[in-house]
Amino acid sequence: MEKLLQQLEEYKKAISAENPTNADEIESFRIKYLGTKGIVKSVMGFMKDVAVEKKKEAGQLLNDFKLLVEAKYEALKNTATTHQANASNIDISLPGNPINVGSRHPLSLIKNQIITIFQRLGFAVAEGPEIEDDWHNFGAMNLPEDHPARDMQDTFYIHQNPAWLLRTHTSSVQARVMEKQQPPIRVICPGRVYRNETISARAHCFFHQVEGLYIDENVSFADLKQTLYYFVQEMFGKDVKVRFRPSYFPFTEPSAEMDISCLICEGNGCNVCKHTGWVEILGSGMVHPKVLENFGIDSNKYTGFAFGMGVERICQLKYRVNDLRLYSQNDIRFLKQFTGVV
């Protein structure tokens, strides 16, 4: 015990004389005292020679010694950091720049929710270019040149090459899938689309769509209805009602638009539903045989349904966003309302 006390005193003196300042020397200090073959480890070896009744006291002394060495090591490191900071004129007492927690854009949130729902039904995601040619955007979808239905989808053409345009719908992706793949086909096509519209609360020169395409043997209008009904219930809850209205699209026959009961006023009538209690959310129909034949798909053997919805509209109903311009203004007061939403 005497020997131990004496030894520790000597080490303490030696330690207080050690004042390394650079990183290498400090590391040597650590190895010398705190390393696996260091002094702290070796003095612990004294324990076995200490008489039983003194063991507790000796243990305490050794532990204090270890803490002292560790404290010295920490102090040396801190001083070195301060030295370094002073040498390079860094004021380490300056508060840092806080990093703000971001959020997903509401349109991304909704797009991902739509994708997840259709993936559960076995739909794969397909993507395609935003700059398209006339054939994939219009021709292949049974919208030949001079077809009056093109008027509803006026778009922007590329100066250097007027054969290129900004796609007006993601039906162009359906075309690209049918070009490469024979049925069965079951895809959804999310993406940004463009139209030549004057910007207002209700219209914009670009927006987002998710279109879907399902082609196989014996696909019927009943499959279309059930699939879309499932989607609506998953997206908006079990209480929402749906209705189909006959419509016209050149690429489907028969065609239908689907409305859901207005979630804003619960069907009582408001601005969003134009006081009808119903809001249109998508266009749909059975794929026109001509579209199938355009891609060499045998329309006697295969049938299919397709649909297309606007992500902004779904988002408006789900999050009550009532002005399309909000989506692209990057106003932090708007965007931060979606922090934490998944």
| Chain residues in the site for ligand DAH (CB under 6 A) | 169, 171, 211, 249, 252, 283-285, 306-308
Q: Rank residues 27 and 253 by Cβ distance to ligand DAH and give the closer one.
A: 253
Q: What share of the chain is helix, strand, coil (3-state, %, to 5)?
A: 45, 20, 35
Q: Which pairs with CB-CB distance under 8 Å and at least 24 residues apart come from 14-21?
A: 15/68, 15/69, 15/72, 18/72, 19/76, 20/76, 21/76, 21/79, 21/80, 21/83
Half-sphere exposure of 71 (CA within 13 A, CB side): 8
Q: Rank residues 43 and 178 by Cβ distance to ligand DAH and give the closer one.
A: 178
Instruction: Output the smallest distance, CB 184 to ligand DAH, in A.
Output: 17
Taking a C-beta distance cutoff of 8 angstroms, is the pair 210, 103 a contact? no
Task: Decide: helix, strand or coil at residue 319.
Answer: helix
Instruction: Output the smallest distance, CB 257 to ligand DAH, in A.
Output: 8
Cis peptide before 184 (omega within 30 of 0): yes
Q: Rank residues 35 and 254 by Cβ distance to ligand DAH and give the closer one.
A: 254
Encode 206-216: b = buried (16+ Cβ within 10 Å), e = exposed: bbbbbbbbbbe
Q: Rank residues 169 and 313 by Cβ distance to ligand DAH and give the closer one.
A: 169
Residue nearest ligand DAH, CB atom distance:
308
Residue with tokens 């995601």: 125
Instruction: Output the smallest distance, CB 275 to ligand DAH, in A.
Output: 24
Q: Rank residues 73 and 211 by Cβ distance to ligand DAH and give the closer one.
A: 211
Taking a C-beta distance cutoff of 8 angstroms, is the pair 313, 278 a contact? no
Task: Decide: helix, strand or coil at residue 122.
Answer: coil
Instruction: Output the smallest distance, CB 101 to ligand DAH, in A.
Output: 35
Instruction: Output the smallest distance, CB 289 to ligand DAH, in A.
Output: 14
Taking a C-beta distance cutoff of 8 angstroms, is the pair 136, 163 a contact? no
Q: Rank residues 136 and 169 by Cβ distance to ligand DAH and give the closer one.
A: 169
Instruction: Output the smallest distance, CB 274 to ligand DAH, in A.
Output: 19
Instruction: Output the smallest distance, CB 160 to ligand DAH, in A.
Output: 26
In whole angstroms, what separates CA 102 from the centre of its chain? Answer: 11
Instruction: Output the smallest distance, CB 159 to ligand DAH, in A.
Output: 24
In whole angstroms, what separates CA 136 from the centre of its chain? Answer: 28
Q: How many CB atoms lie within 10 A of CB 316?
A: 24
- Burial of residue 156 (CB within 10 Å: 0-12, 13-18, 19+) is middle
Q: Rank residues 258 and 263 by Cβ distance to ligand DAH and give the closer one.
A: 258
Q: Rank residues 106 and 212 by Cβ distance to ligand DAH and give the closer one.
A: 212
